[in-house]
Structure 1
Amino acid sequence: MTTWAQSLIRISNYEVETLQKRLAEISDRKAKTEMRLAMLEAEAEGEQDRARQDVDAAMMLRAYLNGWKQKKAAVQADVAAIEAEEEGARDALTSAFEELKKFEHVAETTRLNALLAAGKRETAAFDEMGLRRRAV
């Protein structure tokens, strides 16, 4: 394989690996954000249960739920933003992987063409040697 092909493949591999790490980091952030959302839901359920048992908590429940809705909306917006980022990262990874496969295909085709050309040169050399022996 030629050095230019090896270089292109190495660069493409590096890009694919970098994008895979980025996607893993984004997926991790998404999971953590979704966990925050689940925790908010659990907190709200706990406060509602507490309000059923405590008159003071029941009086403050409406204010708590108003604040909780704002927190929940913010976390849901974070999840949506991370999902959009994740989709973009997946698209970039797919493109980088396709580029890598193209470079590998070109390198393999170049290698096979070089082998064919070497075989043709060798055959031509043997044919020439055979013609020279006949001529003598």
Structure 2
Amino acid sequence: MTAWAQSLIRLTNYEVETLQKRMAEIAARRADAEMKLVMLDAEAEGEKAQASADPQHAAMLRAYLNGWKLRRANAEGMVEALLREEEGARDALTAAFEELKKFEHVAETTRVNKRIEANRREAATFDEMGLRRRNAG
């Protein structure tokens, strides 16, 4: 494999690895954001249960639920943004993989073509040697 092909493959491998790390980081952030949604919902259920048992708590439930709706909408927005970011990172990773495969294919084709050419030259040399012997004999 030529030096340029090795360099391109190495650079593209690095890009693929970087994008894989980015995907993992985004997925972790999305999981955290989704967990926050679950926790907010569980917290709201707890507040509703407590309000049904305590009339004073029931009076404050409406204000709590208004704040909860805002926090939940914020958390949902974060999940949506992370889903879009993850989709973009996935597209970039797919493109990087495709580019890597192209470079590997070009490098392999170049290697095979060099081997074919070397075999052709070797066969031509042997043919020439055979013709010389036949003509000499």
Quickly name the TM-score band, shorter chain normalised.
over 0.9
**Of 98-107 and 125-134, the range deviating more from structure 2:** 125-134
Matched pairs, number: 136
1:111 alignment partner in structure 2 = 111
CA RMSD of aligned residues (A): 0.5
Structure 2 residue identity aligned to 1:23: M
1:36 alignment partner in structure 2 = 36
Residues 71-128 of structure 1: CA distance to partner in whole angstroms, max 9, x if unpaired?
0000000000000000000000000000000000101100000000000000000011
1:65 alignment partner in structure 2 = 65
| Mapped partners of 1:92, 1:56: distance in 2 | 54
Equivalences for residues 1-136 of structure 1 within 5 A:
1-136=1-136
Residues 28-85 of structure 1: CA distance to partner in whole angstroms, max 9, x if unpaired?
0000000001000000000000000011100000000000000000000000000000
Identity of aligned pairs, percent?
A: 67
| Mapped partners of 1:75, 1:17: distance in 2 | 29
List alignment gaps of at least 5 residues for structure 1.
Answer: none
4+ residue runs over 6 A deviation? none
Structure 1 residue identity aligned to 2:112: L
| Mapped partners of 1:7, 1:125: distance in 2 | 34
Q: How far did residue 22 of structure 1 move?
A: 0.2
| Mapped partners of 2:134, 2:52: distance in 1 | 110
Q: How far did residue 135 of structure 1 move?
A: 2.1
List alignment gaps of at least 5 residues for structure 2.
Answer: none
Structure 2 residue identity aligned to 1:47: E
Task: Give the TM-score normalised by the residue count of structure 2.
Answer: 0.98
Structure 2 residue identity aligned to 1:106: V
Task: Give the TM-score normalised by the residue count of structure 1.
Answer: 0.99
| Mapped partners of 1:128, 1:11: distance in 2 | 44
**Of 126-135 and 95-104, the range deviating more from structure 2:** 126-135
